[in-house]
Amino acid sequence: MSHVIVAKIYDLGTTVLADISEISLEKSMTRQINGARSFTIKAPASSSLLTAIAGDGYPNLKTGNRKLVVWEDGDPDTDDPIFHGRIFQVERDGDENAVLVTITAYDPWMELGFEADNRAGRPVRDNTRTLVGDPSFLTPNFDSSVGGQTGISGPDLIRQILTYSQSDPTTNPIQGEGPLPIDLQSGDWDLDVPPALDISPIFDAVWPALCGDFIAQLIATNVVDFDLRPIRPGTGLNLDGDPDDFVMVEASSVSKKGVDRSATVHFDYLTGSKNAIGCKHVEDFSTYADRLWYELGPRLTPRHWRGDITPHSDSVSDILPIFDAAAAIYGGPGTPGRFASFRVLDSLGTENSSRPLYIALYKDEAKLRVNPRSLLYITPDPDAKALHEPPQDYDAFDLVQIKTGSDFGIVLDEAQRVYGYTKTWTAEGVATVGQLVTSSDANTGG
């Protein structure tokens, strides 16, 4: 089976500078949950489609002020692409036979700012307007966008910080960094608390912070997912709700994203349809624990915190029988030994003021750690033999079913959440999906 891949270079709006579909050699897209989507294309470096000078005086191929938009078996005039993002890197590499260029683009997730990578982006700001200095990112404060609600959800915080970052960058003091290529109007957002959890202690984080780092911190709470869906150029909405040529993706943030496709999407190794060519299963006892303590900030004295969650706390009483059952299996004969673990959660300031968040985290961690860690990796057959293709039939965040035959040494038939994959196309359009990174986390949003 051969796929039709349409790849076009645009300016940062809706002007097509070059259709590079015919000169594209190997193409690859990497997708992961709660992270940037990337696309890489190799092509002849000397092609006039890349070297021609565009109307703005720059070459068609240029890092920073060009973007890459890619469709698979779709109509660019009517269908959303599988990738839409800014070109971040151009690498030319030649030998005695040829000179090739590798074009690497990322979706706007990469534009939010990550201090550890020295990636500039957007400071976290509230909607404060000041005359002196610029405290909107030094002491930000937020209220729920849901009227009458005191708690605030992670998705609500994400939408607010990305909204406020787009204020006028030309004033003195600077009030924002101007437009983002992200549609914040059209996606799905979990704003109500409950069912979303209140994460208001994040207000007491150490400021200033970049939006990318801040969102990563929210995601680490395990009660927030954030995703950017590529959309057709010119169809995304700006903050006023109007179509905007600059917008590349549609944002969504919910407590747990993904669709349960396990009834229809399956990968069978040594059994069934045999549509997987490889499988790896790793069991690891090193993270096992059957007793767990959380100490919740703020620290009051060197040996005392504001609050804690213990195996005998009433709020997690349903966990103690699970702990005891695990100890009976792994703790040895007679009176079982115990494996205890503790966490000091005192980086956001007043964690104890948002106990529901940390109770949810406690229960999730406890249920994961009372058994040896089970990691499962599956490699689909190439192209049509795989039976199911990402991102059309399934995508990161979704649940798929994975089965193994008895010759694997263990018979598995499990729903697994897809954490990431890389899809590669040859110059002829034949697709291969590499090893799927999966987890038995079966809690998805729909």
pLDDT at residue 101, as a whole number: 97
Residue 152 lies inside a defined structural domain of this protein: yes
Same domain as 251, residue 272 = no
Rounded (5°) CA angle 305-205-133: 140
State the SS3 of 9-64.
EECCCCCEEEECCCCCCCEEEEEECCCCCEEEEEEECCCHHHHCECCCCCECCCCC
Residue 162 lies in a domain: yes
Same-domain pairing of 277 and 399: yes
What tens-digit pLDDT sequence spans the chain (446 residues)? Answer: 789 999 999 999 999 999 999 999 999 999 999 999 999 999 999 999 999 999 999 999 999 999 999 999 999 999 999 999 999 999 999 998 899 999 999 999 999 999 888 899 999 998 887 766 666 777 788 889 999 898 899 999 999 999 999 998 888 888 889 999 999 999 999 999 988 888 876 555 667 889 999 999 889 888 899 999 999 999 999 999 999 999 999 999 999 999 999 999 999 999 999 999 999 999 899 999 999 999 888 777 877 878 899 999 999 999 999 999 999 999 999 889 999 999 887 765 566 667 777 888 899 899 989 999 888 899 999 989 999 999 999 999 999 999 999 999 999 999 999 999 999 999 999 999 999 988 875 444 44
CA proximity to 30, closest of 432, 422, 434, 436? 422
Q: Compute the Cα dihedral for 131, 134, 138, 143 and give only its sign.
A: positive
User: 253 and 166, same structural domain?
Assistant: yes
Q: Which of 369, 390, 410 is the last residue of a domain?
A: 369
Does residue 28 contact residue 423 with C-beta atoms inside 8 Å? yes
Domain residue limits at 326: 291-369
- Residue 356 sits in the same domain as residue 381: no
Distance CA 294, CA 362 (A): 8
Q: Are 197 and 344 in the same domain?
A: no
Classify residue 192: in a domain, yes or no.
Answer: yes
Residues 363 and 378 in one domain: no
Specify whether 34 is located in the same domain as 15: yes
Residues 154 and 182 in one domain: yes
Number of domains in the chain: 4
- With CA atoms as reference, report the closest residue to 311 among 286, 333, 337, 340: 340
Q: Give this prediction's pTM.
A: 0.90
- For residues 14 and 245, is the Cβ–Cβ distance under 8 A? yes
Exposure of 153 in the CB half-sphere (CA atoms within 13 A): 23
Residue 444 domain-assigned (yes or no): no
Same-domain pairing of 129 and 192: yes
Asked if residue 154 lies in contact with residue 220, where contact means CB atoms within 8 angstroms, the answer is: no
pLDDT of residue 135: 64
Q: Answer yes or no: do 419 and 344 share one domain.
A: no
445 in a domain, yes or no? no
Q: Does 63 fall in a domain? A: yes
Among the candidates 51, 85, 106, a domain finishes at 106
**Which residue spans within 329-380 are E strands per DSSP?**
340-345, 373-380
The pLDDT of residue 182 is 98
- Surface-to-core class of residue 217, CB atoms within 10 Å of its CB (0-12 exposed, 13-18 middle, 19+ buried): middle
Q: What is the pLDDT of residue 239?
A: 96
**416 and 274 both lie in a single domain:** yes
Answer whether residue 219 is part of any domain.
yes
**Residue 308: inside a domain:** yes
252 and 318, same structural domain? no
Domain-ending residue, one of 353, 369, 385: 369
The reported pLDDT for the residue numbered 106 is: 98
